[in-house]
Amino acid sequence: MSSAHSAVPTAGSVPSPSSTSSSPAVAAPTITELLDFVRRTARNEALIASLPLDPEGRTWIRLDGPGGSEAWLIGWPPGTGTGWHDHADSIGAFTTAAGALKEHSLAVRLPTDGWKTLELTDGVDRSRELAAGQGRAFGQNHVHEVLNESEDVHAVSVHAYYPPLPRIRRFSRTGAVLRLEQTESPEDWQ
């Protein structure tokens, strides 16, 4: 989550709308299972309505994701976004539950370490609009930014990652130049 935005403090995790297994050994969720979870959770009207919305910054509640995944319910005030980032070695999925979000992504695999500046080639940019009920899944090292471009409507989304996020790398972008700005660890957003 972004350190420049507000968080909703929670005493604990909010149970997922799916049933939980009592089995001690849980298989790692697949990308398809993460996408199914975020879609199912986004249809939980009571849960979506429980998220306090702040007109100034993003808000979030931690959820219990499937198979030990990390999951979040996130509120996006008009005009807010994440900035360019990746999720390290985690796979993930997200679905818009209310409003609309725009995702810009790069169809390129970045080096994992040892660089500060990269020049991107032509044709790597992708964009998609995700209205309520629409989502997407992604593999490891997916670089993107997510935005609520509305001038007056909050958006709400559900996100899940596996394994739980070990780090988030944040980037700045000027034209074709992508620059690594910082690396965050879980302590920075939880």
Confidence category of residue 24, pLDDT binned at 50, 70, 90 = low
pLDDT at residue 173, as a whole number: 96
Torsions phi, psi for 154 (to 5 deg) = -65, 150
pLDDT at residue 187, as a whole number: 87
User: According to DSSP H, which parts of 43-173 are helical?
Assistant: 45-50
pTM: 0.84
Let me know: does 20 contact 66? Beta carbons within 8 Å: no
Confidence category of residue 10, pLDDT binned at 50, 70, 90 = very low
Phi-psi region of 187 (alpha: psi -120 to 50; beta: other; left: phi over 0): alpha
Q: Give which of 8, 6, 54 is closest to 154, Cα–Cα.
A: 54
